[in-house]
Amino acid sequence: MSEPNGVMMQYFHWYIEPDGKLWQEFAENVKDLADAGITSVWLPPAYKGNAGGFDVGYSVYDLYDLGEFDQKGSVRTKYGTKDEYIQAVKAAKEAGIRVYADVVFNHMVGGDETEEVEATPLNPDNRNEAIDENRTVKVWTHFKFPGRQGKYSDMEWHWWHFDAVDYDEYNPDYNAVYLFKGKSFDENVDLEKGAFDYLMGCDLDMEFDEVRDALKAWGAWYTDITQVDGFRFDAVKHVRAGFFPHWLQHCRKEAGRRLFAVGEYWSYEIEALHHFIDVTGGDVHLFDAPLHYNFSEASKAGGDYDLTTIFDNTLVKEQPALAVTLVDNHDSQPLQSLESVVEPWFKPLAYALILLRQDGYPCIFYADYYGAHYKDNGNDGGEYEIWLDSHKWLIDKFLHVRRTYAFGDQYDYFDHPSTIGWTRLGSEENPGGMAVVLTNGDDGRKWMEVGQPNRTYYDITEHVSEPVTTNDEGWAEFSCQAGSVSVWVPKE
C-alpha cells in the first residue's frame, strides 16, 4: 500500500475450476496485470484442505502441505502444486506485483483419527447456553498428517489443541457446539451468537501456548519458503484479536522485512471494525464490509437510493488509512454463504467509487474482472446457473486513470441524491486533473472544478462522445448517461 495509488486484486473466486491450473494461469498473467496497474494480488489458501484437490482452501487440513504430499486424495491442491505456487509468487514479484497469502487460523477440518473427550453441548445460536449435561464425545481431533511423515514439522494435533467442535461421532444428528472440558471461548471476538469464537470444524484454542507457538513456527517457515509480501487473514472476528499483531511481528522479525496484513472482519457494524483496529493497534487493515453492503443496497434500490450517503458508516470514511475497499468477493458472490449481490449495472459505478478516489486501498475481484459462469444449489435446495459479467474493459480504463490522473486535491460534489461527482486537481508530477460523475437515475450533469482553465476533457469510458472545455477558472459541466458513470480526463 506504500506505493502511490496501489491496487490489490483478489485472484480467484469460489467456483474456480478445480483443475490445478490457477497458479500457472496467474504466472502467465502477471505481466498483463502489472501493465494494467495492479500492484498486489491476494491469492487463495495454498495449503491442503479437507477436500484435497477440490477444496477452496478454507477447510484447513495441513498448513505445511502446499501441494506436495499425497493427502486427502491428491498431491496438488485445487490450484496446483507447491512448486507451481512458489514459481507463481516469484513471477509476480519479478513483474513488480506484491503477493499476499490467504491465512486461516480459526479452525482445522478432516482429522485422521477420533479421540474421546468430555464436552458440554451448547446452543449453536447462543454459545453461552448449555443445552444438555456434560458428556463423553467422540471427535475427529487427531491430525497425524500421514502423507507428510513429519517433514517440516513433527507436531501432531490433538483435542487439547482445540476448544470446541460441532460433531460427535456418538450422536451425529445432534445439533450442538461441543465445548471441551476445561476450555473456554476466547475473548476479543465478535459477540454474535453470544461468543463467535467458534465458526466450524475443530476450533483452535488460541489461549494454549503450544498452539500459538506452532502457528508462529509455521508462519516463519511459510514466509521464508514462499517469499510472500503479506497476508490476508480469514475470519478474524472469530479469533482472539490480539493474536494477529503478535504473529505478524514474529513473522516480520524472522523474515527481516515489512509484511502487509489485511483482515476479513465480515460485519456491517462499523463499531465492531473500530474495536478490532483498536485491539490490534492499527497493525492489520480491514476489508470495508459496510461499504460493500452499501453498494449492494444501492444496486438493488436503483434511483430510490440516496447516493450522497454511499460512504455513510464505512471504514473508508472513518478510518481511510486502514480500509481495503471492495465491490465483491468470494463469500458475497451469488450462492455463497454471505451472498449480498451487487447488481451488474451498479458495478461500474462501485468500481469508480473505490478506484478513482483518494482514500482506501482498493481490491478488484477476479470474477468482476474476468467474468464467471457456474452452477450451484441455493438455500432453497434448487440448482441455479450463474453468469457474472466481465467488467475488465472498464476496470482497465479506471486503472489507467488512477495511475495517471488520480492525484492532488479531491473536491466532492455530493449534493444531489441521484447524481454525485468529484474531481482531482492533479499534482506537479501528475498534472491534468480529472472529473467523475455518476448517477442512479436519469442523465446526470455536474458543474465542477478541475483546476485547469480552458482545457478540453473527454469521457474515457466512451459513454459520452462530446468533449467538454473548461472556462477561464477551470470549471465545466461534466455529464453522464442514465444509470451510468463517466470519467473525464484531459485531451492531450
Q: Which of 234, 318, 328, 331 is catalytic?
A: 234
- Separation CA 475–CA 464 (nearest Å): 18
Any residues with CB less than 8 A from the CB of 421 and at least 6 apart, and which?
A: 412, 413, 435, 436, 437, 438, 444, 446, 448, 478
Q: Which of 62, 264, 318, 331 is catalytic?
A: 264
32 tagged catalytic = no
234 tagged catalytic = yes
Nearest to 394 by CA among 484, 316, 305: 484
Written in H, E and C, the secondary structure of the chain is CCCCCCCEEECCCCCCCCCCCHHHHHHHHHHHHHHHCCCEEEECCCCEECCHHHCCCCCEEECCCCCCCCECCECCCCCCCHHHHHHHHHHHHHCCCEEEEEECCCEECCCCEEEEEEEEEEECCEEEEECCCCEEEEEEEEECCCCCCCCCCCCCECHHHEEEECCCCCCCCCCCEEEECCCCCCCCCCCCCCCCCCCCCEEECCCCHHHHHHHHHHHHHHHHHHCCCEEEECCHHHCCCCHHHHHHHHHHHHHCCCCEEEECCCCCCHHHHHHHHHHCCCCCEEECHHHHHHHHHHHHHHHHCCHHHCCCCCHHHHCHHHEEEECCCCCCCCCCCCCCCCCHHHHHHHHHHHHCCCCCEEEEEHHHHHCEEEEEECCCCCEEEEEECCCHHHHHHHHHHHHHCCCCCEEEECCCCCEEEEEECCCCCCCCCEEEEEECCCCEEEEEECCCCCCEEEECCCCCCCCEECCCCCEEEEEECCCCEEEEEECC
Catalytic residue numbers? 234, 264
